[in-house]
Structure 1
Amino acid sequence: MTANISIFLPTFSLTNGMVSCEPPLFPNNPVVLDVVRKQPAQMIYVGDKYQQIYEWRGAVNAMEKIATQAETYLTTSFRFGPAIAEWASKLLLLLGEKRPLKGNAAVKSRVGSVEPRTILARTNASTIGAIIECLDKGKKPHLVGGTDELMNMLRGVQDLKEGKQSTVPDFFGFDKWEQVVEFAKSGEGDHPMSFVNLVEGAASAN
């Protein structure tokens, strides 16, 4: 049986493994968070509970699950100006955040409509969906960073449909495509649903 990170990481955690160096660890799932908590060392957690990703793969919002002796908040950004900070603060307020962001006064940022438009996608699925939407509207989209990752994901779909395990990280833990579809339909699988719909829609069209 091929062992991937979905196997050896939980095994490492169950054996109370110790990390013998000082690398940054990313506790974005319960297993890694458990490994971090077991380390006999001072822990410094740095993160943003409003930027959680990969929930559909079992990731957890570690910043809401840890208890610390002290907390310090970084609310000033040097990347953007006050205009963007103001809008970001309004959005964060809707999520219950009371501390406003502060922008860099030396950076002249503005908020408004611009052409050509830039689409920021959090997932491969939303990236593919945005590309298809642009093509349907007769536009010529350009994907920054190339298409290698997306092509690998599509190859992963093909592998799963053929009953083979995929090496694509998005599909770790799945043995066949039907499992991905069922997971997407569950309460934990909301994130990849758009990608599943795209794949299933393309299959139906053919």
Structure 2
Amino acid sequence: MDALNSPAMKDAEKHFLTQSFRFGPAVAYVANVILSFKGEKIPLQGLGQPTLVKRALPDDLPHRTYLHRTVSGVIENALRLVNQDHRMQWIGGIDSYSLRDLEDLFYFSRHMNDQVQQRKLLTDYADYDQYVVIAKATQDTEMLRSIKIIENYPDLPKRIEQLRAASVTSELDATVTLTTAHRAKGLEWDFVGLYDDFSADPLSPDIDAGKRDDELNLLYVAVTRAMKILAVNSLVIDIMQRFKDMKQRS
């Protein structure tokens, strides 16, 4: 039996969780802007220590966390960071981020089908050209970003070896933590940056209401993980600008 739906709860007062001690007013403001586009009327209060909101994280931090929309975005960012001698913790473990699938796609693109472990790739697509055509036709975010990675890294298998060598399991040993926003739910870090792979515009007139709310909820989760500094991405900056424009017109 669901206790919340029991007759005894019929006249109970409703209390909303509108306060957080994780972050300060600046992050709460960003979160409220995002939630306002869902029609949320009850503002979130940030009662924690003051949190800075910036466009980029400072260079001299001992540890930072990057949140991504896609798995391929995590990999793309890791490939950028590995040349900066970072020790990287992958939330959920590095093997849960489909590196082998990306490596298979690389070999597929080079007509080295004997190196492809995931044989389904060979049965689903006649060749790599067809994979690219389907990715562009469907605008599949993961597929398109994987193609971009393969184009940018002609030595991808070697780079993936470097990623594995730089991977650590404990945050205490890491200089960077990597995760998707989905996996970040319930977690928190001092210094958080949002990667620029949140490509779906939740305010697009073409997006359905369910998808819009899902994307806004995920952005809300992402921005509220930071305790000291939040570095927002271009999508959040755009949403905040549209909120400002809307307020000025009203």
Q: TM-score, normalised by structure 2?
A: 0.38
Structure 1 or 2: larger helix share?
A: 2
Structure 1 or 2: larger strand share?
A: 2
Q: TM-score, normalised by structure 1?
A: 0.45
**Which has the bigger relative contact order, CA under 8 A and spacing at least 6?**
2
